[in-house]
Structure 1
Amino acid sequence: MTSDSALPHLTVRQLLEVPRFRLRLVAGQDGLDRPVRWAHSTELLDPGPYLHGHEIVLTVGASLRDAGACAAFAGSVKAGRASAIGYGVGDVTDAVPDELRGACDRVGLPLLEVPPEVPFLGFTEWFAERLASVGDERHEREETGRLLRMVRDGLASAEALRPRIDDAGLDPESLLVIAMDGPVEEELPGVLGLDDHAALLVTNDAHAWTEPAGVGSPGPLEHLPVSLAESLSALDTARRTGGVVHAADLATFQALLGRLDRDQLAPFTEQIARPLSEYDAAHGTRLVETLRTFLDMGGAVGATSRALFLHPNTLRHRMSRIESLTGRDPMRFEDRVALAIAVWAGR
């Protein structure tokens, strides 16, 4: 059987809407959003040990002779993590027993009336057909995911995707890739591929998925390898920060720093940020604030002095103190970059 994670979400509410079964809800309305993955027919009074979870348990009520039996049956089905009971009328009784209705309402378990002309075998056949369909769809998505990875890595031409793009009705002159965490159950506007790390959607719609997601830049079909790489990098950032990260968001100082891990930032924290903050704490100075303002002002002494209400010579004295503590001269561009990274990491 296909794993639960591979299945699109089906609820009791949606099962009620399947035309061929003509089911009717008679109790347990609070549980309509429970997932259903399979059907299990039984006349055992205690079927719980034989259930795997998320089934609709089908019965004609041969063992449900009184209120105690109905309560025991409903309790066992609930304990087995099944999602609903389907009671077939017309065999043992012409209607669903009131005692079973009451028991299901008490435990919050949906109870569905199954018409006499609907065989229980029809449920298992329908779920089996559905599983086969889902398996075929997942296989196609996995194949597409492998092809997309090969395109990104230069092992296949983007032209290999043209038949899929044409079948999806996409404009090949304005394609982009959205990378997101899988599995993806919704129908989305484009070509969807799955791999070990992400779900990849080739689409014309940059807003086809909500957060977290990484969105590559749009372009013609031959631009697709670039958009693929951008979308996966953007997804890495989105996983850390939340939201939707676009390709344009990657080409910023903050985005670059956001892709550094704690070990990579540690030297800037230990060699620069910590000595400055400890000096401020010990001497009541404001070196960190001064440096942050200096960086915000683009390294301009005059603008920083005015922002902090300092004489330029006082500012230069603080800059000298920062250099003596960190070994980085705020007036040199390369050292100023290191100081900026330390300030960012310290935040």
Structure 2
Amino acid sequence: MRLRFLLALPELRLEVVTGSDELDRTIRWVVTTDLLDPGRYLRGRELVLTGLVWRTRPADSETFVRALTEAGVSGLAAWDLALGAIPDDLVDACRRHRLPLFKVPEDVAFATVTEEVVRHLSGARAADLAAVLDRHRRLVEGTGLGAVVDLVGHCHVLTPTGRVVAGPAPADPAALAAAFLTAPRLPHHVPALDASLFPVAAGTPRVADWFIAFEGDFTDWPAERRTLTAELAAIVALERARLDVPADVAVVTGGDVSRLADVRHVAVAASGRGGLRPAELRALLAEIFTAAHPAVGVLDEEAVALVPAGDRDIAAALQSALDFLAPGLAGDGIAAGVSDAAPPSGLRAAIEEARHARRLAAARPAPTCVVRHDELATHVLLLASVPDDVRRMFGERLLDPLRDYDRSHGADLVRTLETFLRHSGSWTRCAEQLHLHVNSVRYRIRRIEDLTGRDLSSLEDRVDFFLALRLG
């Protein structure tokens, strides 16, 4: 916007006092100040509004105007309500420094001037950027997002794990990601971070989407800036689709390992418990392990990733990432299995191992569950294959008498049984864990035996109780 445009705004009725030959200067923003030397707060090309509170003597006008011109201000709009005029010394100082000076009518508030100018500035900038972004969207393939985000300014493109895709690194990307995952609805303004969060792909689960964080509160934006936001989201969605190229299925089945380096890999298999689709899970695994450059694909409705083993604990890293992402699952869940590290020649077996572990994870109630390969060699694997009705019947027959007794008498027999078995039948350690006398533990164990007709000195009965507790 140029200074000359101000004279065309009928709501403002500004009048040029001096500097009519400088009205082609552009305005970047509007600032109101009553400081005698506001230069350190100015960045250049502002329209400055002042009520002349800073003026105590004529010489102050020279100090004030010099500070404005040194800061690169485009123009000054003023009115002294107490004096009822603009003092001659201010007019003379503006004329000497070639600073355009406008008179603000007495009945026009500075807030009105600010709102009107900012509205036109934002609308013009957003309309221009929207046109540029629309053209860029047609050409974006292969160009990347950096230049586009720089053009828009004051925004960042991130993944739900907090990884910055484009734009300058924000102060706390993890906090932005957590806010995106937990927002009640999108777009969403986060006052503590002074950021507005927008999804990239509407209808995509948040854990499988990217998002854009804009500075400021979107509820205060004009319609033009909202249009700009939609254009940028469309560009980001195109770029993400361009980058989201799944690996050849032959690689993740272990049938073609020629594309993998001769290093040991860990196989990861994942499935959703609700609305997450296999392709979204594949993208999620690719994001979680992006630093390791995994091979990812979909096999029989499961997402599979081959991750270079390296030195880190893949299963722990996966569980940590899923725990962070859990708020964005919106009631869904993820079951995942992780194999042991294997050389390229053993990847087919590693993938099968991961898929078996994934099925074991799916049988557990936790919303996000990761099962390691070493759990496949325990009783847990056998329990996972037991049909649900058999599991329920087995647990009820052994444990329901104890649960009924606990409810009726306020006892703690089930917990006592679990603690007793966990400490391999040690009366002393069980008593210490429960903060009871040994005789109290002995009394409870006898009560358990009486109610169930079992003998806890028998290994066979102990195993039955142990399995019932695990199944329950």
Residue 195 (structure 1) aligned to one of 292, 299, 311: 299
User: Is 1:220 paired with 2:346?
Assistant: no
Structure 1 residue 221, shift from structure 2 partner: 3.1
Preserved CA contact (<8 Å) 2:269 2:305: yes
What are the residue-to-residue correspondences of 1:67-106 with 2, within 5 Å? 102-105=222-225
What are the residue-to-residue correspondences of 1:241-260 with 2, within 5 Å? 241=366, 242-252=368-378, 257=383
TM-score, with structure 1 as normaliser: 0.52
- Residue 266 of structure 2 aligns with which residue? 176
Structure 1 residue 179, shift from structure 2 partner: 1.4
- Residue 248 of structure 2 aligns with which residue? 141
Structure 1 residue 321, shift from structure 2 partner: 3.8
Q: Structure 1's 296 and 228: CA in aligned 2 closer, same or farther, altered over 3 A?
A: same
What are the residue-to-residue correspondences of 1:222-237 with 2, within 5 Å? 222-237=345-360
- Residue 311 of structure 1 aligns with which residue? 439
Return 333-342 or 252-261, whichever deviates more. Answer: 252-261
Preserved CA contact (<8 Å) 1:164 1:191: no
What secondary structure sits across from 1:110 in the alignment?
helix
- Residue 298 of structure 1 aligns with which residue? 424
Preserved CA contact (<8 Å) 2:265 2:307: yes
Preserved CA contact (<8 Å) 2:339 2:351: yes
Preserved CA contact (<8 Å) 2:262 2:344: no
One-letter amino acid matched to 1:333: L
For 1:291 and 1:109, the matched residues in 2 are separated by: 64
Once the two structures are superposed, residues 186-226 of structure 1 have per-residue CA deviations (whole angstroms, 9 ceiling, x without a partner) of 47423323123212122323648543532100122343243
Preserved CA contact (<8 Å) 1:319 1:329: no
One-letter amino acid matched to 1:274: D
Structure 1 residue 237, shift from structure 2 partner: 4.4
User: Is 1:161 paired with 2:256?
Assistant: yes
Structure 1 residue 177, shift from structure 2 partner: 0.8
Structure 1 residue 266, shift from structure 2 partner: 0.9
For 1:244 and 1:224, the matched residues in 2 are separated by: 19
Preserved CA contact (<8 Å) 1:144 1:194: no
Structure 1 residue 161, shift from structure 2 partner: 2.3
Residue 110 (structure 1) aligned to one of 217, 223, 228: 228
User: Is 1:327 paired with 2:431?
Assistant: no
Preserved CA contact (<8 Å) 2:266 2:350: yes
TM-score, with structure 2 as normaliser: 0.40
For 1:342 and 1:255, the matched residues in 2 are separated by: 15
Once the two structures are superposed, residues 309-344 of structure 1 have per-residue CA deviations (whole angstroms, 9 ceiling, x without a partner) of 1339x72x6444423432332122221121123334
Preserved CA contact (<8 Å) 1:293 1:304: yes
Preserved CA contact (<8 Å) 2:295 2:306: yes
What secondary structure sits across from 1:275 in the alignment?
helix
- Residue 462 of structure 2 aligns with which residue? 336
Structure 1 residue 228, shift from structure 2 partner: 1.4
Q: Structure 1's 110 and 326: CA in aligned 2 closer, same or farther, altered over 3 A?
A: same
Q: Structure 1's 36 and 299: CA in aligned 2 closer, same or farther, altered over 3 A?
A: closer
Preserved CA contact (<8 Å) 1:170 1:204: no
For 1:196 and 1:141, the matched residues in 2 are separated by: 14
For 1:225 and 1:273, the matched residues in 2 are separated by: 42
What secondary structure sits across from 1:164 in the alignment?
coil
What secondary structure sits across from 2:258 in the alignment?
helix
What secondary structure sits across from 1:192 in the alignment?
strand
For 1:15 and 1:260, the matched residues in 2 are separated by: 54
The structure, 1 or 2, with the larger RCO (C-alpha pairs under 8 Å, 6+ apart) is: 1
Identity rate of aligned residues, in percent?
Answer: 26
One-letter amino acid matched to 2:256: L
For 1:238 and 1:17, the matched residues in 2 are separated by: 44
Q: Structure 1's 278 and 103: CA in aligned 2 closer, same or farther, altered over 3 A?
A: closer
Aligned residues: 239
Query: Highest Rg: 1 or 2?
Result: 2
Residue 400 (structure 2) aligned to one of 239, 258, 274: 274
- Residue 50 of structure 1 aligns with which residue? none
Once the two structures are superposed, residues 19-63 of structure 1 have per-residue CA deviations (whole angstroms, 9 ceiling, x without a partner) of 49987659x9989955479xxxxxxxxxxxxxxx99xxxxxxxxx
